[in-house]
Chains A and B, each alone.
Chain A
């Protein structure tokens, strides 16, 4: 697993602590891990007295993992175009760890992704299908 460098785009948190990828035929299997830390400034507000990893941070992990794997050096990372479907199935609490397994397939102008996020105990916490486009085309 590799450790990302500093987060160099606007982000609510560092949502990928380790990642790795390997080709799988036409696709790429991308894996990202991030721990749930109760003392993260975000979790103090979500919620006071009950830290819960926000579902949107699983989406943020997906975006940051895509940036690590497919971002161009010094250039724009892939941009989320359509969150086709996302389901949050189980909460991630303080001390847990999210493992996001992403299958990335090339698509016109970008990539199509299908992800499953699991907790330390193996429970599926989230399923996401999302389409990304290459960075430069974002504001077209």
Chain B
């Protein structure tokens, strides 16, 4: 599982919140390296006023966190495709010391390096870093996700 089309078959998120472009490396159960390109046509920049200064184009930290979290989800799922019997969804339930060193702007490519530290009681603990080239953007001491049963969508199909 490498390209965006593959990521789409594994993760349930869709535009504009599917925030992983490509998987660079995957050591099943251990670590994953992914990228997400920040582009001027991202939805989050659409409402900026004319003449907005450069600092207004800082890619929202909330989306950087989500992009890292989805990378951790891909690592946990190990590229397994969802099946019709799947009644569980991965949920981001917490994080500790997600620390930012700088900002990202259109033209930057976020590279997430995620390690799976442990999985206990259907709860995954990951850690890692986020890079733009050789500039470190953030460090993540802990990101926590769990598997929860989900009620079916109104159409009767799993989410």
A and B touching (Cβ–Cβ under 8 A): yes
Interface residues of A (CB under 8 A from B): 6-12, 41-42, 44-50, 54-57, 59-60, 63, 76, 79-88, 135, 138-139
Q: Does B45 contact A83, Cβ atoms closer than 8 Å?
A: no
Interface residues of B (CB under 8 A from A): 12-18, 42-45, 47-49, 52, 55-63, 65-66, 69, 89, 91-100, 102-103, 150-151, 153-155, 157, 159
Q: How many A-B contacts are there with CB distance less than 8 Å? A: 124
**Contact among A8, A82, A87, A139 for B98, CB-based, below 8 A:** A82
B16 touches A6 (CB 8 A): no
A6-B49, A56-B66, A84-B96 known; A138-B58 Cβ under 8 A: yes
B46 to chain A, nearest CB (A): 9
| A49 and B157 within 8 A (CB) | yes
Bound-state CA distance A87–B103 (Å) is 24
Min CB gap A140→B, angstroms? 8
* Cβ distance A81 to chain B, nearest Cβ, rounded Å: 6
CB-defined contacts of B18 to chain A, threshold 8 Å: 45
Output the least CB separation between A111 and chain B (Å): 15
Measured between beta carbons, the chain B residues less than 8 angstroms from A49 are 153-155, 157, 159
Are A45 and B17 in touch, CB under 8 angstroms? yes
Q: Which B residues touch A135, using CB under 8 A?
A: 55
Measured CB to CB, the nearest residue on chain B to A59 is B62
Partner of A8, one of B49, B92, B96, B150: B49
Q: Complex: how many Å from CA A85 to CA B141?
A: 10
In the assembled complex, the Cα of A53 lies from the Cα of B103 at a distance in Å of 25
Closest to B150 in A: A50
User: Which residues of B lie under 8 Å from residue A139 when comparing CB positions?
Assistant: 102-103
Residue in chain B with minimal CB distance to A138 = B103
Q: How long is the Cα–Cα vector from A60 to B94 in the complex, in angstroms?
A: 15
The one of A6, A12, A86 that contacts B60, using a Cβ cutoff of 8 Å: A12
A9 with B14: CB separation less than 8 A: no
- Extra A-B contacts (19), CB below 8 Å, given A46-B17, A55-B92, A83-B65: A8-B48, A8-B56, A46-B13, A47-B89, A49-B154, A49-B155, A50-B151, A54-B17, A54-B92, A55-B93, A56-B92, A59-B61, A59-B65, A63-B60, A81-B100, A87-B94, A88-B93, A138-B55, A139-B102
Residues of B within 8 A of A9 (CB): 48, 55-56, 58
